[in-house]
Copies of this chain bind each other. A is one copy, B any other.
Amino acid sequence: MRLTTKGRYAVTAMLDLALHGTEKPVSLADISSRQDISLSYLEQLFAKLRRNDLVSSVRGPGGGYRLSRGGDEIFVAQIIDAVNETVDATGCGGTADCQQGEVCLTHHLWCDLSEQIHSFLSGISLAQLVARREVQSISARQDARSQPQGGPLSLAEV
């Protein structure tokens, strides 16, 4: 099983989309500057998210990405699956041929763990994350930091 920066970036970016994409599409450049993730790397991740039908894109100036459906219908597990292939903890990928074609001593343990992790992450939607108080305040901090130019200044910026 792998749960590294890749999956964390993907979830973070999707959450950014959920927070900012309510009106118009959000460009990867915006996400990149708000979340400190390399633009090119984001492009690669979003190619996978798009293939997995989690986001839809609008090309050309003013374009960007939108969630393909409501934040209450997109779950963290789906995002990680999309970029990480799997959160499976077994060595055999669930095929149970871990030791010379037969099941290994600890196969069932890893199956149980995979199940556990998957069901935990499947129970958390983007909408639930958006609703969290700490997410709200961190997002506000990020907005203040990355859009200091143009438009009226908010109080938080002075």
A residues in contact (CB < 8 Å) with B: 1-5, 8, 11-12, 15-16, 35-36, 76, 89, 91, 99-100, 102-106, 108-110, 113, 116-117, 120-121, 124, 129, 132, 134-135, 138-139, 141-142
Contacts and interface: CB of A to CB of B under 8 A. Distances in A.
Contacts of A139: 105
A109 to B, nearest CB: 7
A102 B132 CA distance: 17
B36 A110 contact: no
Contacts of A135: 105, 108
Q: From A36, A106, A129, name the one whose CB has the most chain B CB atoms within 10 angstroms.
A: A106
Contacts of A15: 105-106
A95 to B, nearest CB: 15
Contacts of A116: 116-117, 120
